[in-house]
Structure 1
Amino acid sequence: MEAEMRGGGGGTRAAMPIRAYRWSRAARASSVIGVGAVIALALTGLTGCSSPADEAFVPADRVAGASGPSGPGDPAGASGSPSPAGSTPEPETVQAAPGVRVVVEPPAAADPATADMVAAFRDYYAGSLRVIAAGENGAGAGDTAYLGLLGKDAVRQDYEWVSAYREKHRALRGTTRLYGFEVEPLEDRGVRLNVCVDMSRTRTVDTRTGRAVADQDEWMRKPFLHAADMWEDGDGVRRIQYLRHALYPSERAERCIR
């Protein structure tokens, strides 16, 4: 999936393809990672039915420490130099589909590993919303490149979510906001990225008529906490492996209310 990127100042950035992410070690050269098996598995369903602190986390097509074109984790990208240290980064807007936007409030002073995890979650969310917005047969309905960011369990979860909309001829429109990013280590392996998600400015529409429907999901009316467990697959790619959420008024979701 490619999405139009806009910084907080309104300048338009060139579209950027979604990438796979991996841990880059000095002794291992960067390589192109094949994720065809995961994507093929999800494509069949979607089109048919509707860390260690000393290792740098970089996109698969870049070597740690190397210079090169800006990637999804580089919000400054084509717009110029990054924000000065200690300043609050400008919100970033992804036009996921016509009438569908994802606004990201990056964490202040994020290290490269955190910035790339935020970018991976952003790309996953924008890609998933793009497929939902397309409905059963619209442009982008089979645009599932974002699934390369997911492990098998997360692909299954995403498939169930998208299918629930398609089976009811439903789609989403409006703006989703991602903010309050926090990283915590998992006991066994990997890390968990906690993200506040506000979908209160979205609406559900009938894909057959384009009109808003009255049965808006109750859980979407208040911000909630979405957690993405991430660790490295056997092929060296670090992916979102499992997705969890906590809805208000749970204690974990309370911090997302503002």
Structure 2
Amino acid sequence: MTLVILALSACAAPTGPEFAPGGGESTTKALPTTSSAPGIETITAAPGLQIAIDWPSDRNKMIKAFTDNYVDQWRAVATAGVDDSYLQSVEEPANRDAYRWVWSFLKGKQSAQGTAKLYALRVASVTGRGAEINACVDTSGIRVTDAAGAPIDDQPAWTASPQSTYFQVAAVRRGDDGTWRVKLFRHASYPDERAKECLR
């Protein structure tokens, strides 16, 4: 799979290099494997912490691999790392990015409350056993809290506009067991043009 993409934390828009998303000569348009009615589904990751997913009509296993992991990472944050199921749906090197992102909360004894949003989800390309998932993420509804649940005074930049809205790419791969897992996370944050397209 040819992806022209760079460094990221899995759930929140981190600082670091941006990227120019795109495919390569070997990429192809994705064909949906399953369909269901599009619409917004709100999933509770933990009490007081929700993920609102605006599903496309082609809600397939490739997209679910990304969205399930996104929700599971927030669940890990909210449970102070007790729930580590997010590590089962990632492989090298995405597992390191996911772990570092969760640890960025745990090391400061922090958690989160509010609602994160995923929308404009699509399978951008499929090559063999790999696929590129594109999504828009809005974390403006999230507040980082202390261990007791009180919002911290110095909220990170990714909780406020325009940095709270960014373009996310996840490279997913189907393993020998038939399960799709996230292999790579990348993002583009404002003022990148792809991030601007996510503003609404």
Q: Residue 124 of structure 2 contacts residue 133 of structure 2 at CA under 8 Å; is this kept in 1?
A: yes
Match of 1:105 among 27, 37, 54: 54
Q: Residue 132 of structure 2 contacts residue 171 of structure 2 at CA under 8 Å; is this kept in 1?
A: yes
Instruction: Determine whether 1:215 maps to 2:159.
Output: no
Q: Which amino acid aligns with 1:213?
A: I
Q: How does 1:92-131 map to 2 (within 5 A)?
A: 92-107=41-56, 109-110=57-58, 114-131=59-76
Partner of 1:163: 103
Partner of 1:34: none
Q: TM-score, normalised by structure 2?
A: 0.75
Residues 213 and 237 of structure 1, relative CA distance in 2, 3 Å threshold: same
Structure 1 residue 118, shift from structure 2 partner: 2.4
Q: Which one has the bigger strand percentage? A: 2
Residues 215 and 167 of structure 1, relative CA distance in 2, 3 Å threshold: same
Partner of 2:172: 230
Aligned residues with identical type, % of pairs: 32
Residues 188 and 168 of structure 1, relative CA distance in 2, 3 Å threshold: same
Structure 1 residue 185, shift from structure 2 partner: 2.2
Partner of 1:132: 77
Q: Any unmatched runs of 5+ in structure 1?
A: 1-50, 58-72, 75-81, 84-88, 136-140
Q: Residue 197 of structure 1 contacts residue 226 of structure 1 at CA under 8 Å; is this kept in 2?
A: yes
**Aligned equivalents of 1:186, 1:117: Cα separation in 2:** 10
Q: Which has the larger radius of gyration?
A: 1
Structure 1 residue 103, shift from structure 2 partner: 0.5
Match of 1:91 among 35, 40, 47: 40
Instruction: Indicate the structure whose relative CO is greater, using CA pairs within 8 Å and at least 6 residues apart.
Output: 2
Residues 233 and 257 of structure 1, relative CA distance in 2, 3 Å threshold: same
Q: How does 1:41-52 map to 2 (within 5 A)?
A: none
Q: Residue 106 of structure 1 contacts residue 118 of structure 1 at CA under 8 Å; is this kept in 2?
A: no
Partner of 1:25: none
Structure 1 residue 186, shift from structure 2 partner: 6.3
Q: Which amino acid aligns with 1:241?
A: K
**Aligned equivalents of 2:92, 2:45: Cα separation in 1:** 23
**Aligned equivalents of 2:126, 2:39: Cα separation in 1:** 29
**Aligned equivalents of 2:30, 2:137: Cα separation in 1:** 30
Q: TM-score, normalised by structure 1?
A: 0.59
Q: Residue 62 of structure 2 contacts residue 131 of structure 2 at CA under 8 Å; is this kept in 1?
A: no
Secondary structure of the residue aligned to 2:93 is helix
RMSD: 2.6
Q: How many residues align?
A: 171
Partner of 2:4: none
Q: Which amino acid aligns with 1:215?
A: D
Instruction: Determine whether 1:177 maps to 2:122.
Output: no
